[in-house]
């Protein structure tokens, strides 16, 4: 997509613009290759909707600067809400979007998580390795609120 611009928002229990708007696809790829988990001491559970406000700000700014350019959201995640915070709706983003895709990862049985890609050290709480489990109900709901589609990525076993 020549001329396409990308921004990447990462989240766990907080959201961060990990990559501001760019047309450099190699920067997006490099970020994807190096993403890791928040250190255990800073983690307080995943809030799968914590990035809604930040995404809204980015989309609003993009709409103001390039009003005739279509905007898309691609959500990558397992859908597991481990934070005690209530889920925020994604529906407010939908009017600014030409489309959305929610990509779900994981299995019902779950799996332990490395601290970083390629690491043998695991995300642990109180010396107990934590398991990430997919919640396809949440992922379906996010896709519906965005007016997009949900696709499961990888095996469904477990």
Tell me yes or no: is domain 6-153 CATH 3.40.50.410: yes
State the pLDDT at residue 111. 86
Neighbours of 157 (CB within 10 A): 7
Ordered by start, the domain boundaries in the chain are 6-153
What is the model's pTM? 0.86
Residues 2-33 pLDDT 10s: 788 999 999 888 899 999 999 999 999 999 88
Measured between alpha carbons, how far is 112 from 24 in angstroms, rounded to an integer? 33
List, as one string, the DSSP characters of 126-144: TTEE-EE---HHHHHHHHH
Residues 74-109 pLDDT 10s: 999 999 998 888 899 999 999 999 999 999 999 988
């Amino acid at each position: 997509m020549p001329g396409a611009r990308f921004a990447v928002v990462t989240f766990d229990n907080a959201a961060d613009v990990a990559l501001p708007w760019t047309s450099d696809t190699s920067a997006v790829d490099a970020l994807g290759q190096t993403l890791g988990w928040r250190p255990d001491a800073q983690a307080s559970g995943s809030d799968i909707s914590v990035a809604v406000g930040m995404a809204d700000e980015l989309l609003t700014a993009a709409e103001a600067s390039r009003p005739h350019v279509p905007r898309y959201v691609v959500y990558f995640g397992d859908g597991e809400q481990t934070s005690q915070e209530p889920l925020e709706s994604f529906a407010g983003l939908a009017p600014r979007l030409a489309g959305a895709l929610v990509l779900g990862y994981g299995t019902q049985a779950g799996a332990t998580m490395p601290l970083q890609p390629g690491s043998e050290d695991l995300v642990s709480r109180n010396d107990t390795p934590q398991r990430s489990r997919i919640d396809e109900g949440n992922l379906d709901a996010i896709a519906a609120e965005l007016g997009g589609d949900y696709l499961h990525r990888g095996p469904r076993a477990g």
